[in-house]
Amino acid sequence: MRDVFELKEVSKVFSHNTVLDDVSLTFKRGELHALVGENGAGKSTLIKIISGVYRADRGRLFLNGEPVQFMNPSDAQAAGISTLFQEIQEIPEMTVAENIFLRREPRYPGTFLVDRKKLRQSAKELMERLGLKIDTSAKMRELPVSTRKMVEIARAVSQKASVVIMDEPTANLNAEEMQALFQMIDDLKKEEVTIIYISHRMNEVFSLADRVSVLRDGKLIATMPGEECNEERLIPLMIGRELNSLYPARNASRGDAVLKVKDLSLGEHFGNVSFTLHKGEVLGFAGLEASGASAVTKTLFGLCGHPTGEVVCGGRKLNIKNPAESIRNGIAFLPEDRKTQGLFLNQNLLTNITAGALDSLFSKRAILHNRFERSQSGEVVRRLGVKTQGLHEHPDELSGGNQQKVLLGRWIIGSHKVLILEEPTRGVDVGAKSEIYRQINSLAEQGLAIILFSTEMPELLGMCDRVLVFSGGALTASLPKEEATQELVLKYALERHVS
Amino acid sequence: MAVLKSILPKALFKKRPYIREYKNEIAISLLIIVVFVVSQFLSPVFLSADNLLNLLRQTAYTAIAAIGMYFVILIGGIDLSIGATVQIVGMVSIMMMVDGVSIGVTIAAALAVGLLVGLLNGIIVTYGRLQPFVVTLVTRQIMQGIVLVASGGASISGDVPDTFMQIGAGYIGFIPVPVVVMFVIAVAAFFMMRKTTFGRRLYITGSNQTAAYYSGTNVRRVKVLAYVLCALFATVSGLLSVARIGAFQPTTTHGGAAGMELNAIAAVVVGGASLSGGKGSIVGTLLGAVLYGILSNLFPLIGISSYIQQLIQGFIILMAVLISSKGKILRVLRKEGAKVA
């Protein structure tokens, strides 16, 4: 294998903060090279330099042995470097085909007019070649997130690049789509395309990577062959210290039943779901896209209108209508997207933390107890170990992990009975992850009943006392911790997926 | 006020982080002081007691409406109908006064009109999921239409009782009544934003609607109430200004009612609020109104024609909006420049 891309002594400084420090790396032709590291380790900066978004302050880049300098992303694209960014970049009002060929639409020869027929044709051919069943004439906004992501991947792949950068490509994808992605990756490698792959999901890295490079605090710590990697070896390198176990033990004993759900149904989304949640229990919700797992949690919190069936919480029959009502009844909810659904980015931490208990805890006849707010939110920040200058800071000044802690802090205060967590560790680095797991345990130990919805299987298996598996809108299995394995969960998750 | 922010030493913020929360207010206060000092040299009349009281009175009308506008801008909306609200309230109250209705009933009727307007604006925007800009532009047009039809386009005047006139033209001690009303309203609004759950809900709804809903806020109610407050404050401002003149003119509009919404928006935005919501303060809004009032007062004194004033006002709003977008445009320009270079 020859080197296709090389970085030599690359450094990048953002306002006195060195985010990349003298990194030298080579990427070989046709290899999948995984970059791993905690958030803030420098992975994103590195790929942004490779893809021309940033320019390195020091150091040089070589493409096929020639020195190159990218002034902007289109330079890098022209040189054969295609990037799949973490955030979806599509234009929602355009069709799938138009998005795939954005800014490189086929033209009528000799004119600037777009050849729509050819555009549609090429998009269809591409989908067939990649084995994707996506309607190329559908508008992007009509498609679910995971499908949009696949379109994005198809676009990156279709650019005939010699280097494809993938930043967290599997976030939001369901199992089927992941298989399709991995198939595409295989095909790309056969065509001698180099893939630079970033993922927080260690299992993916282990099974896909030819080589793995670990970054920490902007420095390259190690590069090793993929087959020599395992969690015990990588995680200490990533965090620079030993991590006893990612999933700490819990001393919670299962108490009385808190939440009894009987025959809960919501239109075509799910039907006849029944389960009981106990004090001190962490109950996992597993399922693929549209399985109903996430819809059930959202419904319980009052986000999906009126379901049929019976929900009893703390001995009271609930009339589910909106989040305010659910919070009053003791149900708290940590949404999956902290930036758009959780945080108030331009408000201070105090406001962010106390927002969920304004009526119940922090006011009397609508008058706020400012001092109590201050002491309580200060306490939460200390208890969760949020790294911050003080309560006056805004969440957008904090790292992802600390933002998530702030959001968790909102539901730690107050007398909730049930805490629903959706993807509590998405986009959070390993250190913050284990901190969040510890907090979940301590909450369970204090008697809170927790529902954990996650698409990360190891997280479900590591954290939950019981895992409920959903498929096609029905509850297909309830697996105790001792019995639950990845294979078994996946089997039940696919049970009603007739393809 | 980004320019001023950069003048304030950064170390000040580092040592006392809470100062950062008030940097807008500090910056405008400094600017007001500068204008005061400079104006002394520009016009000998400016600092006279008479002129300052007059300035405060002028400011009061804008400030009261601006505080109402602040709530709407805070939740990410806008209300372009407050000028028309002032007009319709003025017409109704003068009509009733001329007909010999008691002052109490007249004021109650005026407030009821304001309440209705606010409810309509709020409900259409919130439940119809429409652009506040479009909705309030339309309600403005409808109200102006009603005023023209009801008044026949003619001014209304007649025997207006002195006690009513006192509301607009009277003094408490040596301070004009509108100024006293302004202070009472500002203190109440300040208290509401600082100490009540509703004030907090306004902030969080403006900052992130979805997150506010997810943390138990009845977002729709909060939004409707913001429009109601805005219309009510405009009503108060309208009452104070119509009571000063004691007559109603549908076309030329007393107290600059036609441009009222822009004055109020300018005060709020100059005061540090962002048109995308979630940012700004009562004190900032008040200071914004004062700064705006000083400039409008000073211009004629130093011989700037009223035609040019409007031009300058327009630029002030433009500047404030640009600055409150956090210099996004400047950043884009710099990037483009870097590409060329």
Where residue A45 sits, what CATH number does that domain have?
3.40.50.300
The confidence band for A16, taking pLDDT boundaries of 50, 70 and 90, is low
Query: What is the model's pLDDT at position B253?
Result: 47
Q: Minimum mean pLDDT among A14-28, A200-214, A296-310, B11-25: which range?
A: B11-25
| Residue B102 is assigned to a structural domain of this protein | yes
- Return the axis-axis angle of helices A175-190 and A486-494, rounded to nearest 10°: 110
* Set of chain B residues whose Cβ sits within 8 Å of the Cβ of A367: 195-197
Instruction: Indicate if A207 and A278 belong to the same structural domain.
Output: no
Nearest Cα of chain B lies from the Cα of A360 at a distance, in angstroms, of 11
Rounded to the nearest 10°, the torsion over CA A94, A97, A103, A107 is: -120
Sign for the CA dihedral angle at B112, B118, B119, B121 comes to positive
Classify residue A451 by its DSSP letter. E
The confidence band for B240, taking pLDDT boundaries of 50, 70 and 90, is very high
Q: What is the mean pLDDT of chain B?
A: 85
* pLDDT score of A457 more than 90: no
Highest mean pLDDT among A120-129, A225-234, A428-437: A120-129
| Residue A244 is assigned to a structural domain of this protein | no
Which residues touch B301 (CB under 8 Å, ≥6 apart)?
B39, B42, B43, B45, B46, B51
Query: What is the model's pLDDT at position B206?
Result: 95
- For chain B, what is the total number of helices (H) and then of strands (E)? 16, 2
Higher per-residue pLDDT: B308 or B183:
B183
Query: To which H or E segment does residue A380 belong?
Result: helix A370-384
Query: What is the model's pLDDT at position B320?
Result: 74
CATH number for the domain including B111? Answer: 1.10.3470.10
CB contact under 8 A, B216 and A327: yes
| Residue B20 is assigned to a structural domain of this protein | no
Query: What is the model's pLDDT at position B338?
Result: 45
* pLDDT score of B188 more than 60: yes
| Nearest to A470, CA basis, from A191, A314, A323, A271 | A271
DSSP annotation string for B183-246: HHHHHHHHHHHHHBHHHHHHHHHHH-HHHHHHTT--HHHHHHHHHHHHHHHHHHHHHHHHHHH-
A71 contact B CB<8A? yes
**β strands within A184-248, DSSP E:** 194-198, 211-216, 219-225
Look-up of token digits 């090279």: A33
Query: What is the model's pLDDT at position B14?
Result: 54
Q: What is the pLDDT of residues A176-186, one digit of tens each?
A: 888 888 888 88
CB contact under 8 A, B210 and A359: no
Instruction: Indicate if A314 and A192 belong to the same structural domain.
Output: no
> Rounded to whole angstroms, how far apart are CA atoms B125 and B134?
9
Nearest Cα of chain A lies from the Cα of B341 at a distance, in angstroms, of 11
| Residue A389 is assigned to a structural domain of this protein | yes
Average the pLDDT over A148-176 and give the result. Answer: 83
User: Looking at the partner chain, which of A323, A328, A344 has a beta carbon nearest the beta carbon of B204?
Assistant: A344
Higher per-residue pLDDT: B81 or B327:
B81
Q: What is the pLDDT of residues A395-427, one digit of tens each?
A: 888 877 888 999 999 998 888 899 999 999 887
DSSP annotation string for B2-41: HHHHHHS-HHHHHHSGGGGGGHHHHHHHHHHHHHHHHHHH
The confidence band for B254, taking pLDDT boundaries of 50, 70 and 90, is very low
B20 contact A CB<8A? yes
Instruction: Indicate if A29 and A173 belong to the same structural domain.
Output: yes
CB contact under 8 A, B207 and A344: yes
Q: What is the pLDDT of residues A44-86, one digit of tens each?
A: 889 999 998 888 999 999 998 889 988 888 888 888 898 887 7
> Rounded to whole angstroms, how far apart are CA atoms A473 and B41?
77
Instruction: Indicate if A173 and A314 belong to the same structural domain.
Output: no
| Residue A344 is assigned to a structural domain of this protein | yes
* pLDDT score of A497 more than 70: no
A302 contact B CB<8A? no
* pLDDT score of B339 more than 70: no
Average the pLDDT over B19-30 and give the result. Answer: 80
Query: What is the model's pLDDT at position B10?
Result: 53
Average the pLDDT over A365-377 and give the result. Answer: 90
Query: What is the model's pLDDT at position B15?
Result: 55
Instruction: Indicate if A159 and A307 belong to the same structural domain.
Output: no
* Set of chain A residues whose Cβ sits within 8 Å of the Cβ of B213: 322-323
| Residue B72 is assigned to a structural domain of this protein | yes
The confidence band for B1, taking pLDDT boundaries of 50, 70 and 90, is very low
> Rounded to whole angstroms, how far apart are CA atoms B135 and B242?
26
CB contact under 8 A, A392 and B194: no
The confidence band for B16, taking pLDDT boundaries of 50, 70 and 90, is low
Average the pLDDT over A196-206 and give the result. Answer: 84
B213 contact A CB<8A? yes
Query: What is the model's pLDDT at position B333?
Result: 55
Query: What is the model's pLDDT at position B284?
Result: 93
In this structure, the number of other CB atoms found within 10 A of the CB of residue B123 comes to: 16
Chosen for mutation from A347, A391, A415 (greatest number of chain B CBs closer than 10 Å) is A347
Provide Rg for chain A, Cα atoms.
24
Number of domains in chain A: 2
Instruction: Indicate if A232 and A338 belong to the same structural domain.
Output: no
Please tell me which residue of chain A has the smallest CA distance to B214: A323
- What residues make up the domain containing A321? 257-494
| Residue A411 is assigned to a structural domain of this protein | yes
- What residues make up the domain containing B120? 44-325
CB contact under 8 A, A358 and B195: no
Instruction: Indicate if A300 and A152 belong to the same structural domain.
Output: no
Number of domains in chain B: 1
Instruction: Indicate if A146 and A183 belong to the same structural domain.
Output: yes
Q: Domain end: A239, A269, A295, which one?
A: A239
Query: What is the model's pLDDT at position B257?
Result: 58
* Set of chain A residues whose Cβ sits within 8 Å of the Cβ of B217: 324, 355
Which residues, numbered 50 to 109 in chain B, qualify as contacts with chain A under a Cβ-Cβ cut-off of 8 Å? none
Q: Percent of chain B, pLDDT > 90? A: 50
CB contact under 8 A, A368 and B196: yes
B204 contact A CB<8A? yes
Cβ(B53)–Cβ(B174) below 8 Å = yes
Instruction: Indicate if A228 and A96 belong to the same structural domain.
Output: yes
Q: What is the mean pLDDT of chain A?
A: 87
Which residues, numbered 379 to 418 in chain A, qualify as contacts with chain B under a Cβ-Cβ cut-off of 8 Å? 389-390, 392-393, 410
Q: Domain end: A213, A239, A265, which one?
A: A239
Instruction: Indicate if A160 and A47 belong to the same structural domain.
Output: yes
Query: What is the model's pLDDT at position B328?
Result: 53
A340 contact B CB<8A? yes
* pLDDT score of B324 more than 90: no
* pLDDT score of B276 more than 60: yes
Average the pLDDT over A199-206 and give the result. Answer: 80
Query: What is the model's pLDDT at position A263?
Result: 93
The interface predicted TM-score of the complex, written ipTM, equals 0.85
- Return the axis-axis angle of helices A116-130 and A145-157, rounded to nearest 10°: 100
CB contact under 8 A, A355 and B200: yes
CB contact under 8 A, A323 and B213: yes
Q: Domain end: A239, A269, A301, which one?
A: A239
Chosen for mutation from B215, B325, B335, B340 (greatest number of chain A CBs closer than 10 Å) is B215
* pLDDT score of B45 more than 50: yes
